[in-house]
Amino acid sequence: LALMLRSTPGGVAAMRFDLLLSVAFVRFIADLHAGRAPHAPLSRTMPDPPLDLAAAVSAALAGDSVSRLADAVAPRTAQYRNLRVELARYRALAADSSIPLVPVVERLNPDDPYDGAPALARRLAALGDLPTTTPPTAESRYAGDLVKAIRRFQRRHGLTADGVIGPLTFRALNTPLSHRVRQIELTLERLRWLPSLGGHRLLVVNIPAFRLFAFDSVGGTGSPTLHMRVIVGRALDTRTPVLVEQLRYLEFQPYWNVPRSILVREILPQLRRRPTYLREHDMELVGQRDRVVGDAVTPAVLQRLAGGELRLRQRPSPRNPLGRVKFVFPNTADVYLHGTPDTALFAQERRDFSHGCIREERPTDLAAWALGDRVVWPRDSVIAAMAAKPTRRALLSRPMPVVLFYATAVALPGVGLAFYEDIYGHDRRLDEALRADRTPP
């Protein structure tokens, strides 16, 4: 730009500079409002009202309210505000060359001798996990306040908070702070993609955190009313999609309608080997208009299943993979939230085990919260509906946004800034898209 202006006559250069500055400002406001990277709309049912950029910028310039315009078009959530604060802090940390790396050993248990203890203390203090009032340590031992600080660090990084420093914790400790800065920037970018959620109760699933959060509002402190572990889609082949739709009803004692992909890949081969498979798993054959046609498996039935004339569904039972309740928010990916009989998997640190749907750790609590404003659905009624047939549907008093989100950096009240692994590679692809972004005007 400077070279261009030096080669241009004075008056023309000033006009060109003014034009380029105006274009850059309009682009900045557009990016702040909806993000820089190209992306498909996240919601079919909750579109954001369009922003008249030209009118908004003209009004801001005329009224000398440029900073207020920037605040007005940015996301108005506590998460966005808190991450902006953390971004400034981590940029300063990334620029501080005095923060040491931590010497790596194979495994470090509490009370083990460790020559790297002073470096560990300095890094944990810089990151905020070790109180700055803690006296500097010259002792070559991993113990006391250092163990407490590591447990806090592990909680912030989605690791088992046992105080044992193994390969995963060492890797998280020595991750370049510039990478943490980029994680925050990428989450801020994705927050700009979301439709307006102000004033709504809502559910948020953060896929790489394997966590669900229920909010009575997205304003205020940003503290969730309810949170729990979840299981999401496998990173290799059945990823949970990123989307925003509206929760409309709950289904107690649900049938599991077997997705065609699972039928073809997993169940049909079983049926060809063991015709008794349906009875063993309490499944039934279903035709058009949900007409039940039995559970007898013959060559003709196998042919009709393979051709799509018949479907499979599993009856409500303790073994039903949907558990006792299903949370339905219609979407093109046909995913939903549900319970599960296989609760042991929630103890795993990494929980991408599903075919794309989201399994919740505490479905009773979530159902009671979702129906909390329905007088006819007190908690006792929710528990009763989950325990007894027949299948029942409970409508919400009003649709509630469900956000299936992907953020590897999150500001958590009471915990601090949390970081997670990029399990689906979405951060890497978004970073590449932003670096290949359009050229300057």
Q: pLDDT by residue (tens digit) across 409-425?
A: 999 888 899 999 999 99
Q: pLDDT by residue (tens digit) across 255-292?
A: 999 999 899 999 999 999 998 999 999 999 999 888 99
- Domain-located, residue 379: yes
Whether residue 163 is found in the same domain as residue 89: yes
Q: Which domain holds residue 378?
A: 198-254+319-407
Whether residue 124 is found in the same domain as residue 265: no
- Domain-located, residue 417: no
What is the C-alpha separation between 166 and 105, in angstroms, rounded?
Answer: 8
Cβ atoms of residues 385 and 126 within 8 Å: no
3-state secondary structure of 205: strand
**Is this structure's pTM higher than 0.85?**
yes
- Domain-located, residue 288: yes
Residue 268 is encoded by which pair of tokens?
């049909």
Whether residue 366 is found in the same domain as residue 226: yes
- Domain-located, residue 167: yes
Residue 116 has pLDDT above 60, yes or no: yes
Region 114-124 average pLDDT? 96
Whether residue 219 is found in the same domain as residue 353: yes
What is the C-alpha separation between 329 and 45, in angstroms, rounded?
Answer: 10
Residue 9 has pLDDT above 70, yes or no: no
Region 10-34 average pLDDT? 73
Which pLDDT score, from 0 to 100, does residue 441 have? 46
Q: pLDDT by residue (tens digit) across 45-55?
A: 777 767 777 77
Q: What DSSP string runs through 374-432?
A: -TT--HHHHHHHHHSSS-EEEEEEEEEEEEEE--SEEEETTTEEEE---TTSHHHHHHH
- Domain-located, residue 305: yes
Q: pLDDT by residue (tens digit) across 157-177?
A: 999 999 999 999 999 999 999
Which pLDDT score, from 0 to 100, does residue 2 have? 54
Q: pLDDT by residue (tens digit) across 55-113?
A: 777 777 766 677 777 777 778 888 999 999 999 999 999 999 999 999 999 999 999 99
- Domain-located, residue 327: yes
Whether residue 45 is found in the same domain as residue 94: no
Which pLDDT score, from 0 to 100, does residue 29 have? 76
Which pLDDT score, from 0 to 100, does residue 7 have? 57
Cβ atoms of residues 51 and 33 within 8 Å: yes
Residue 352 has pLDDT above 60, yes or no: yes
Whether residue 328 is found in the same domain as residue 216: yes
Alpha carbon separation from 283 to 34, 253, 319, 335 (Å, rounded): 46, 14, 11, 21
Which pLDDT score, from 0 to 100, does residue 286 have? 94
Which pLDDT score, from 0 to 100, does residue 23 have? 73
Percent with pLDDT over 70 in the chain: 92
Region 314-324 average pLDDT? 94
Last-in-domain residue among 175, 194, 213 = 194
Which pLDDT score, from 0 to 100, does residue 389 have? 87
Our count of domains for the chain comes to 4
Cβ atoms of residues 225 and 313 within 8 Å: no
Whether residue 275 is found in the same domain as residue 182: no
Whether residue 338 is found in the same domain as residue 399: yes
Residue 220 has pLDDT above 70, yes or no: no
CATH of the domain at 119: 1.10.101.10
**Angle of the 10-34 helix axis to the 53-62 helix axis, nearest 10:** 120
HSE, side-chain direction, 13 A CA sphere, residue 74: 16
CATH of the domain at 205: 2.40.440.10
Mean of pLDDT over the chain: 89
Whether residue 233 is found in the same domain as residue 371: yes
Last-in-domain residue among 269, 297, 314 = 314
Whether residue 209 is found in the same domain as residue 276: no
- Domain-located, residue 13: no
Residue 349 is encoded by which pair of tokens?
């640190």
What is the C-alpha separation between 99 and 356, in angstroms, rounded?
Answer: 41
- Please name the residues in contact with 145: beta carbons below 8 A apart, sequence gap of 6 or more: 130, 131, 134
Which pLDDT score, from 0 to 100, does residue 235 have? 96
Which pLDDT score, from 0 to 100, does residue 190 have? 96
Whether residue 219 is found in the same domain as residue 359: yes
Last-in-domain residue among 28, 47, 74 = 74
Whether residue 87 is found in the same domain as residue 180: yes
Buried/exposed 64-91: b ≥16 CB within 10 Å, e otherwise? eeeeebeeebbbebbbbebbeebbeebb
- Domain-located, residue 10: no
